[in-house]
Amino acid sequence: MKLLVTGASGFVGRRFLEMIPADWEVVCLGRSQPASLTERWIQCDLADQKSVESAVKQVNDETFDSIVHLAAFVPKTAADDTLDNARLGNIDATINLLTHFGEKSEKIIIGSTAEVYDQSKIHGPITEDNVVAGSSYYGSTKMASELIAQSYAKKMNKELTILRFSVMYGGYDPIARAIPNFIRAAKAGDDLTIRGAKVLRDYVHIDDVARSIICAVNANGAGVVNIGTGRGISIRETAQVIVNSMQSISRIIVLSEDGGSDIVIDISRAEKLLNYHPEVFFPDKLKEMEKLYK
């Protein structure tokens, strides 16, 4: 199995490379060199045309069993979520990848997000048929990149799988999500201030995210597929579990009980088409995360 992988040095890509079978050959395409020294790396900024053209020359006439596109702009904080950042990192990068490398594989796998769903219209577990309408520039541009990939796959007769990941956790997550924020606060003994205490979240561990990508590589093109656990836990319970686990003196301050829609993923399509079955459920492996944050 030979793969062209983008975003290999990121949160998802790094764990994916750590978990793939030893006999898979990987060519990494990205701005930063992956932590592993065993994979071939071609420096490339997918949002920059000249950089892409240089990378194309280095790949030359190679072909791949799958292209795995994990490179994306993901804002680390709300302030980072600007239109220019999101357009360059999600839309432009996807267009350049497909335009210059898409012909080198019959199968394309793209990492996406449950943030493409219209949270105001979510009722019950989220299926792939739920209404999409990104509530952020990140979500909107990921949705746009999905549509571009779908059009490309249809026109060029490619197998396509789009993996919409739920709320991820595990390892050292550089994004200011709830779990890392709660861990940092609990370690410092600071108050954990929460809004929407009753709101449910489906936390999918990075190991299961990586496993889902491996499943997609091994399966036929499945279209849009949700990746989560199918289980929801409230924001209040999330905070309480972390405080208890760390034996912290932090208090939990609830500013509101409601506020936002539940994000709990229906994974039946992933189970059927990808043979994906989650193995880690929050708070599993929480202790591993606690050691990584200061």
Q: What is the pLDDT of residues 45-97, one digit of tens each?
A: 999 999 999 999 999 999 999 999 999 999 988 889 999 999 999 999 999 99
In this predicted structure, which of 1-15, 128-142, 153-167 has the lowest mean pLDDT?
128-142
pLDDT at 247 over 70: yes
pLDDT at 134 over 80: no
Q: pLDDT tens digits for 177-194?
A: 899 999 999 999 999 999
Q: Confirm whether 108 is domain-assigned.
A: yes
Please give the tally of structural domains in the chain.
1
Question: How much is the pLDDT for 193?
Answer: 93
Give the range of the structural domain holding residue 131, as residue numbers without chain letter.
2-169+203-229+264-280
pTM of the complete model: 0.95
pLDDT at 121 over 90: no
**pLDDT greater at residue 269 or residue 40:** 269
| CATH code assigned at 6 | 3.40.50.720
**pLDDT greater at residue 235 or residue 290:** 235
Q: Where are the alpha helices (DSSP H) in 157-279?
A: 178-188, 206-218, 235-245, 268-274
Report the C-alpha gap between 177 and 205 in whole angstroms. Answer: 13
On average, the pLDDT of the chain sits at: 93
Straight-line distance from the first to the last Cα atom of the chain, in angstroms, rounded to the nearest whole number: 39
pLDDT at 259 over 80: no
Q: Confirm whether 254 is domain-assigned.
A: no
Q: Confirm whether 196 is domain-assigned.
A: no
Question: How much is the pLDDT for 37?
Answer: 63
Average pLDDT of 106-118? 95
User: Which residue in the block uniquely carries the two structure tokens 């954990």?
Assistant: 192
Q: Confirm whether 185 is domain-assigned.
A: no
Tokens of 158: 């490619």
Q: pLDDT tens digits for 277-292?
A: 999 999 999 988 888 8
pLDDT at 226 over 90: yes
User: Which residue in the block uniquely carries the two structure tokens 């983008």?
Assistant: 6
Tokens of 165: 């990941």
Question: How much is the pLDDT for 33?
Answer: 84
Q: Confirm whether 241 is domain-assigned.
A: no
Q: Confirm whether 234 is domain-assigned.
A: no
* Confidence grade of residue 227 (pLDDT, cut at 50, 70, 90): very high
Report the C-alpha gap between 110 and 101 in whole angstroms. Answer: 14
- What percentage of residues in the chain have a pLDDT greater than 90? 81
Question: How much is the pLDDT for 50?
Answer: 93
Q: Confirm whether 174 is domain-assigned.
A: no
pLDDT at 208 over 80: yes
Burial of 114 (0-12, 13-18, 19+ CB in 10 A): buried
Q: Confirm whether 238 is domain-assigned.
A: no
Question: How much is the pLDDT for 32?
Answer: 84
Question: How much is the pLDDT for 258?
Answer: 83
